[in-house]
Amino acid sequence: MKIGNKEFDVSRNCYIMGILNVTPDSFSDGGRFNNIDSALRQTEKMIEEGMDILDIGGESTRPGYTKISDDEEIQRTAPVIEAVKSRFDVPISLDTYKYKVAEAGILAGADLINDIWGLKYDSGEMASLIAKSGAACCLMHNRENMDYNSYFDDVISDMEETVRIADGAGIARDKVILDPGVGFAKTYENNLEAIDRIDEFRERLGFPVLLGASRKSVIGLTLDLPSDERLEGTVALSVIGAMKGAAFLRVHDIKENIRAVKMTMAVMRGYKNGQDMH
Radius of gyration, alpha carbons of the chain: 17
Catalytic residue among 186, 197, 202, 216: 216
Give which of 88, 82, 95, 120 is closest to 17, Cα–Cα.
Answer: 95
Q: What is d(CA 55, CA 91) in angstroms, rounded to the nearest whole number? A: 9
Query: b/e map of 37-70 (b: 16 or more CB within 10 Å)?
Result: eebbebbeebbebbbbbbbbbbbbbbeeeeebeb
Contact 58, 22 (CB under 8 A): yes
The one-letter amino acid at 250: R
Catalytic annotation present for 216 = yes
**70 CB-near residues (< 8 Å, 6+ apart):** 98, 100, 101
Catalytic residue among 98, 186, 230, 250: 250
Catalytic annotation present for 32 = no
Contact 234, 17 (CB under 8 A): no
Burial of 266 (C-beta count, 10 Å sphere; 0-12/13-18/19+)? middle
DSSP-assigned beta bridge partners for residue 54: 18, 92
Q: How many alpha carbons lie under 13 Å from residue 262 in its C-beta half-sphere?
A: 15
Active site amino acids: 216, 250
